[in-house]
Structure 1
Amino acid sequence: MTRIAAGDPAAMGECLDRYGGLVWSLARRFSPTNADAEDAVQEVFIEVWRHAERYDKSIASEPTFIAMIARRRLIDRQRRRDAQPRTSAWDESVLPEENRDPAEWLQVCDDAQLAREKMSELSDEQQRVLTLALEGGCSQSEIAERLQLPLGTVKTHARRGLMKLRELLTASAGKLTGKGGVA
């Protein structure tokens, strides 16, 4: 570490050779893919290079120092991944083929079509909020920003819209079965 802090170019190569396996094993535990782990290893060694002057052998050994940098960097990466909103629409292709029952999928399609039709009976504001949430995958904060509405108003439109939609679908199901309840 003292050689790296002094700017010795060969020292960084030796550090990579000596501790690359340690950092790789930590990165694989924290990373969802090999590509992500490779990126993480690179980030860790850049941090080691940047902060080599902080190393104090009276406090920790070199492997411990490097492992702590790796751990902090990997936790930061995990937090960033967890904080990213999932905005992609649901993709049926991710389900294994053997789990797809054609009759179930037809029913799901029919139910989805009925829900789309019933959404047209909601207020314009409720339709816009629910469309952005359900089809666009937007969070309520993102919807508030896009529609230039207060967050509380977006939450109210979403809640009331879903309640009204449930009421409309329940009534529609009762008409289809000849009962007053859900089929």
Structure 2
Amino acid sequence: MHAVHENSEPGGAPDLLERAATGEAAAWRELVDRNTAVVWAAARAYSPTAADAEDVCQVTWLSLAENLGNLRDPRALPGWLATTARREAVRLSKARHRESPVDWDTGMFDIPDHADGPEVSALRSVAVSRMWQAFAGMSRRCQQLLRVVAVAPDASYAQVSQALGMPRGSIGPKKGRCLAALRERLATGGCVEEAAG
């Protein structure tokens, strides 16, 4: 690792990793700032709840702190972080699934607005329920991609690619197909819900 650092430019990933490994707080903060979107996108894509994603992020950063001097190619840090977050999220999801019979958090789309009256709240609840049912019926890959787009809308395709382990060129077309499938599910599921209600 030290051979890689000798030729690294100041402020580059190898330089920041080396400085962070020596305990420089500013270098650590810069590493976190540069890579937070990748870690969060990977964690959220593979975590059923935002709370689990936060736990995954913390474990990922702790893992980086423990392995600062062991990374073979510091320039591959974003990929290493995305892989670490993805693995931790899968591990945590499996552990949570064994703990509870409840699968995905159904409240992820529910944002309370206390200014609305009971009628608007009831309509919003029905809409959120329909959205959740449509979303839950999609493939896991579509759910992961749409979660990343929802929680990190400013993430670049390169960051989404690292977070999901998906080829960059397939992200746009896959996102379009997933959104079209979600729209179709919402359109066809709406009639069934109204008839049942």
Q: TM-score of the superposition, structure 2-length normalised?
A: 0.39
TM-score by length of structure 1 reads 0.42
Higher relative contact order (CA 8 A, sep 6+): 2
Between Structure 1 and Structure 2, whose CA radius of gyration is higher? 1
